[in-house]
Structure 1
Amino acid sequence: MNEDNNLQYWLEMLRSPDINDRIVAVKTLQHLGDEETINALIIALKDEHLTVKKIAISALWEIANPVAIPALIECLSSSDTDIRAEAASALSELITQDELLLLLDKLQSNDVNLQLNILVLLRKIHDIQCLPYVLPFLESKNPELREAAVTTLRYINQLEKCPQALNLIFDREASVRRAAALTLEHLQDAEVMTILCQALTNDSDWQVRRNAAKSLAIHENHQAISALETALNDEHWQVRKSAAQALQKIPNIQVMPRLIQALTDEYADVRKEAVIALGNLAHPDAINPLQQALDDPDREVSIQAQRAIQKTQANKNFLP
């Protein structure tokens, strides 16, 4: 049997009413793994049995020919979670700028699963042309779509301002607020600092507060000092840790007393970040507290305390 006849044989097997025949056929096509099998594997994507579909997706992923991309995109509408996940994984490696218009076209469908996956795939392309297509999803009634859209904004090149994204940090769904807090790290709208400070000090969800602190660390703006100082008293240790990390970026003598208090925090991670922040202040009044931190039960804290002391003593403004 020559190669063409061999391929035709397995193609006929894919049409068999017996599921075992179809599984054998698609596995064989996967094993052959060459360009000639692509059309047959695309046909297998329409099989009613999930096993056949999944093997076909994996095979097309391995062959990595972009001709299969439109068919794989259709799999993102599948009612089966595994099929959608497998297709999304394959597409995340196959998608390029060349498929941008195709993705934007599919984004306008009414299928939520397809829309969610397209929003994620657009993060691979980073193109500012995506923006007008993503913005409507910020107002979607579906919180998953709002979260996916505000996250995708982080990946769009040259995006500095996006007023439509700002209010999502006050969204009724915590998952959306968490995503928005991280996205605001990338935006330069005039209100960003005020909104992040509000989220840091007032949001009921500790992950939103932590994410707000992380974004404030990126902005390195002294306008955030008071909010970060307040956050050093937050009930959740990860928020306190992130606040101390942000204060390392914007040293300010105002927060030194609170940073010194943080040296007795019950969590070593918080104590370590407070020590580093005090080292960046390089103020002589921090020497004694830092010397006490040399005896901290956590070795990393004591190591960082030694470095902070050396940094303070090396400061040209330090007078012993």
Structure 2
Amino acid sequence: MNVGFLIGEIASGLRRNLAMAISVVLVTFVSLVFVGAGGLLQLQVAQMKDYWYDRVQVSVFLCAKDSEAPTCTSGEVTAAQRDAVLAELQSPTLAPYVESVQFESKADAFKRFQEQFKGTAIADSATEDQLNESYRVKLKDPTKYEVVTQYFAGTPGVEEVQDQRRVLDPFFTVLNVATAVAGGFAVVMIIAAALLIATTIRLSAFSRRRETGIMRLVGASKVVIQLPFLLEGVLASVVGAGLAVGALYAAVRFGVQGWLVEALPLFGYIGTHQVWLVAPVLVGIAVLLAGTASVTTLSRYLRV
């Protein structure tokens, strides 16, 4: 096959349907931005889970002076009850689950409380005596937090067993919903891109029906006739994919690494190397999308 002829046919087709080709590029760009954003968001969620769940602790809050829990009817936790809870945390029964135990006194809890709510009205109204002593338990497997929760249910001197996962899980649920929404938009836009590519190929084939007729008469093969149309759609889609990768790179480079890291330095964020992991997938989707739409359209409207 003459490469020069092929390039000329592609250029001719793109010139004749320039507006439609630009539309294909833009729709592919938008759809793949959503696909890429969904993928990157899922990578971010996974990275955040690894970061936070590795630091998750189970807090065993001991009875304070004014506790109203059924296990605190005798008043504030006694030294014997406090020692008994620690002994249970270090017992052979919980040893397979517990990695470390740290005691937090009222003074420590009050200091952390003041740092956490610094500058708010609640920080000024709280007193050290109102806060609970607690044991901060780091688990070997954070998913096994219910073992500790159930173990100390009804234990005298223990007001409440609180797992930090209960605070984090709703947050991650929101992020997963956002990922699903981005995926939904991506599916809609991909369908729109496929339809637009099919329409573009159909118009291109119609505008060049005379040339294709002559090529049939001179014995040109099916591949020679259909390949320029196929490559037009693929080329426009790949350009859209390239723009999508560039947009995602800029968003991560300047939005996440350039701004979010400084504004909320709480955990590790995804970097530009994750964009390069997603990039081949986006290009592959673009080629597959354009190829499928083009072949389907050509087989129907350009029979050879």
Q: TM-score normalised to the size of structure 2?
A: 0.18
Q: Which has the higher contact order (CA 8 A, sep 6+)?
A: 2
**Larger helix fraction of residues:** 1
Instruction: Indicate the structure with greater strand content.
Output: 2
TM-score, length-scaled by structure 1: 0.17
Higher alpha-carbon Rg: 2
